[in-house]
């Protein structure tokens, strides 16, 4: 790979030197040069500009058609819809503006291509024109930013009035742990100094002198959430900067060592419902076809099933790519049944010495 890159760099340097000597030749006054562009060349380049414009749009439309299925499915959280609307409006604006400006740019490059005897018009300025092309972006961008701020403050309004479940997400190289606040719905204090006491059972450093922590429940494999109930995630990190990213719920928040950050949302679609969506079924089918092909070549691969995921979205080290945890959104009854099977902190440490 390094050898290939070295060869490519050497070739590029050679081309650059060759081009520079050509420019030097052109700059010599009085020497007739057949390589100076004539009317025919200019016209051809004008048409090529059009061809390039066509190529850009054909490529865009083709990519949208071919790869839009790798995009995220519909948002599975209440605020996700606002977030997606904001994204859709921004993208529509960008596409419209770029369509107009790129078309004009390429059209003018064609219309005013070089011609023998044609002279450029000297045009100093036009206040009215400058005013128009300043004020339109100002109004559009101000509107977009205000709308974005409104959406942001709505999403980040983490009030605890409507009785949300409180869950701690604990990040470390390279896994996630989730701590439910238990019966009292209050997380007990925690500190790295208490990590691994109680014969290594205290994996989150829960402070056993705080009674709020005794009914806390720690899960190292899955996060379960009841559908349509607000959840407040409190994030901590043990070592470096991580980022808790739950793409299907349009949620992301950095996990910073030494502080607690938070994000809140209400899941609206259960895992079982999401698996029934046609878009998801297509995706699963396609991935399993690819897996079957690889299995046929001798790779050891299981069939894939859709699940919500919590992943890390900050490059935090060598196994960052695999730092993930399954999220299960289910009915209230299913959630309660799962919760009943979990051990509280006091049950976990019972019989061990601090």
* Interface ranges with Cu ion (CB under 5 A): 242, 312, 316, 323
Nearer to Cu ion, 237 or 271 (CB): 237
Output the six-digit token pair for 269. 């679609």
Pairwise CA distance, residues 176 & 171, whole Å:
5
DSSP 140-206: HHHHHHHHHHHHHHHHT----TT-PEEEEEEEETTEEEEEE-TTTT-PPPB-GGGTTTTTTT-TT-B
Nearer to Cu ion, 75 or 204 (CB): 204
> Closest Cα to residue 192, out of 240, 255, 239, 242?
239
Q: How far is the CB of 2 from Cu ion (least distance, A)?
A: 29
Q: How far is the CB of 152 from Cu ion (least distance, A)?
A: 24
Token pair in block for residue 35: 């390589």
Minimum distance between the CB of residue 10 and Cu ion, rounded to whole angstroms?
39
SS3 label, residue 291: helix
Q: Which is nearer to Cu ion, 106 or 177 (CB)?
A: 177
342, two tokens: 């979990």
Q: Which residue lies nearer to Cu ion by CB, 225 or 311?
A: 311
CB of 106 or CB of 179, closer to Cu ion: 179
Closest CA to 315 of 236, 239, 241: 241
With 0-12 CB in 10 A as exposed, 13-18 as middle and 19+ as buried, what is 102?
middle
Pairing label, strands 217-219, 308-312: unpaired
Q: Quick one: 277 or 320, whose CB is closer to Cu ion? A: 320
Min. distance of Cβ 320 from Cu ion in angstroms?
5
Least spacing, CB of residue 166 vs Cu ion, in Å: 22
Query: Could you tell me the smallest distance in angstroms from the CB atom of residue 271 to Cu ion?
Result: 24
């Amino acid at each position: 790979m390094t050898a290939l890159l070295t060869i490519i760099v050497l070739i590029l340097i050679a081309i650059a030197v060759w081009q520079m000597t050509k420019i030097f030749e052109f700059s010599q006054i009085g020497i007739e040069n057949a390589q100076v562009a004539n009317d025919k060349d200019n016209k051809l380049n004008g048409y090529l500009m059009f061809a390039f414009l066509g190529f850009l749009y054909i490529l865009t439309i083709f990519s949208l058609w071919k790869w839009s299925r790798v995009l995220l499915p519909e948002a599975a959280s209440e605020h996700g819809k606002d977030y997606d609307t904001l994204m859709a409006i921004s993208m529509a604006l960008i596409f419209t503006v770029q369509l107009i400006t790129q078309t004009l740019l390429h059209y003018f490059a064609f219309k005013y291509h070089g011609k023998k005897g044609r002279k450029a018009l000297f045009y100093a300025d036009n206040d009215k024109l400058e005013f128009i092309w300043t004020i339109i972006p100002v109004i559009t961008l101000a509107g977009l930013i205000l709308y974005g701020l409104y959406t942001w403050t709505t999403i980040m309004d983490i009030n605890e009035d409507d009785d949300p479940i409180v869950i701690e997400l604990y990040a470390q190289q390279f896994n996630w742990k989730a701590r439910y606040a238990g019966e009292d719905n209050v997380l007990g204090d925690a500190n790295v100094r208490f990590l691994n006491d109680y014969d290594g059972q205290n994996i989150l450093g829960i402070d056993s002198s705080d009674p709020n922590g005794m009914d806390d429940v720690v899960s190292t494999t899955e996060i379960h959430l009841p559908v349509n109930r607000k959840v407040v995630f409190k994030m901590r990190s043990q070592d470096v900067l991580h980022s808790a990213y739950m793409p299907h719920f349009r949620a992301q928040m950095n996990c910073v060592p030494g502080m607690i950050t938070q994000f809140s949302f209400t899941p609206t679609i259960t895992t079982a419902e999401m698996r029934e969506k046609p878009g998801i079924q297509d995706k699963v089918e396609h991935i399993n076809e690819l897996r079957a092909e690889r299995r046929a070549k001798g790779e050891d691969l299981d069939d894939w099933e859709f699940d919500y995921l919590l992943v890390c979205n900050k490059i935090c080290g060598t196994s960052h790519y695999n730092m993930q945890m399954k999220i299960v959104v289910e009915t209230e009854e299913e959630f309660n049944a799962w919760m009943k099977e979990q051990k509280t902190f006091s049950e976990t440490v019972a019989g061990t010495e601090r």
